Chain A
Amino acid sequence: MLNCKEVTQLCSQEMERPLRLGERFSLATHLMMCNGCTNFRRQMKALRLVAQSYAAGGAAVAPPPDDRSQ
């Protein structure tokens, strides 16, 4: 059984390479029982989405440095 620390590593590696069958199975088993790691995995995916949007000019709405809204 993987612990949460190992699962976070796997969740990050999943962003780099396809997981092997055994890894996918261990991950799925752990996620079924663990909210923290389920959230963590979603966050890794959100992070990628955000980074890719930013790199596609998504920060179009970013205010200039002398932002007056605050």
Chain B
Amino acid sequence: MSSVTAALPGAAPHAAPEISAEALIALRTDMLRFAQLQLRNRETAEDMVQEAIESALRNASSFSGNSSRKTWVFAILKNRIIDHLRQAGRTVPMSSLVEDGEDWQERLEAMFNERGHWRDSARPTAWPNPEQSMQNKQFWVVFEACLDHLPANTARVFMMREFLGLEAEEICAQLGLTTSNCHVILHRARLKLRGCLGNGWAHIGDAQC
């Protein structure tokens, strides 16, 4: 409610954008996609988003406008997801993580020659400036598709690290993995995403609108 007064004329000159139910509903689709990528479960994702929206409305007055409304709401959603994952405890069975890795090892080996140097076909080339790419709608479509193509558990470890910002140590402990296992999984996720994004990035470059 206080956000409404803040938006009235005569209020603080740099009044924060309003946190209204309408504004939050407009973000719901993006929130849901973000939650679902990580949870891979529609119902849980919807619960998390609902809780985040309710919490945002209750705490609307604490929104300072220093970040964008969406960033603020996403931070709330991230905390909800972190709480959920912590409560859920060890949610990823080790065996499936090992399975994720089988053909992966072969493909990794194929990128390097017997001396461990890049093969010509696999040698990384420079990417376009990410700041610019992120302005492109199509880039995010590719990014989401790439995440979606990661094996579920590999993706989960990666997103716990990069989206939720949990330390590798905590992720390992939660999932009952050794530190080195955890690093291997994250490395694997990055290599796969790198390959996928690299392809997508090249296409985006071609089809600049």
- Residue numbers of A with Cβ under 8 A of B are 3-6, 8-9, 12-13, 15-17, 35-37, 39-40, 42-44, 46-64, 67, 69
Contact = CB atoms under 8 A, between A and B. Distances in A.
Contacts, number: 125
Interface stretch (B5-13, B58-66, B88-96, B140-148): B140-148
Contact of B115 (A3, A12, A54): A3
A67 B33 CA distance: 15
A66 B126 CA distance: 32
Contacts of A37: 118, 124
Contacts of A53: 134
Contacts of B198: 43
B169 to A, nearest CB: 9
A37 B125 CA distance: 9
B180 to A, nearest CB: 10
A58 B134 CA distance: 8
B55 interface: no
B183 A57 contact: no
Given A50-B143, A55-B162, A60 B187 contact: no
> Which secondary structure characterizes the binding site on chain B?
helix
Contacts of B111: 5
Given A55-B163, A56-B71, A60-B68, A4 B117 contact: yes
Nearest to A53: B134
A15 B197 CA distance: 18
A47 B146 CA distance: 12
Interface residues of B, number: 52
Contacts of B209: 69
B17 to A, nearest CB: 13
B56 interface: no
A9 B187 contact: yes
Interface of B: 27, 29-30, 33-34, 67-68, 70-71, 73-75, 78, 111-112, 115-118, 123-127, 130, 133-137, 140-141, 143-144, 158-159, 161-165, 168, 183, 186-187, 190-191, 193-194, 197-198, 209
6 contacts: A13-B187, A36-B123, A43-B194, A43-B198, A54-B34, A64-B29
Contact of A50 (B117, B126, B134): B134
Contacts of A52: 162-163, 165
B137 A62 contact: yes
A4 B186 CA distance: 18
B140 A62 contact: yes
Contacts of A55: 34, 74, 78, 162-165
A41 to B, nearest CB: 9
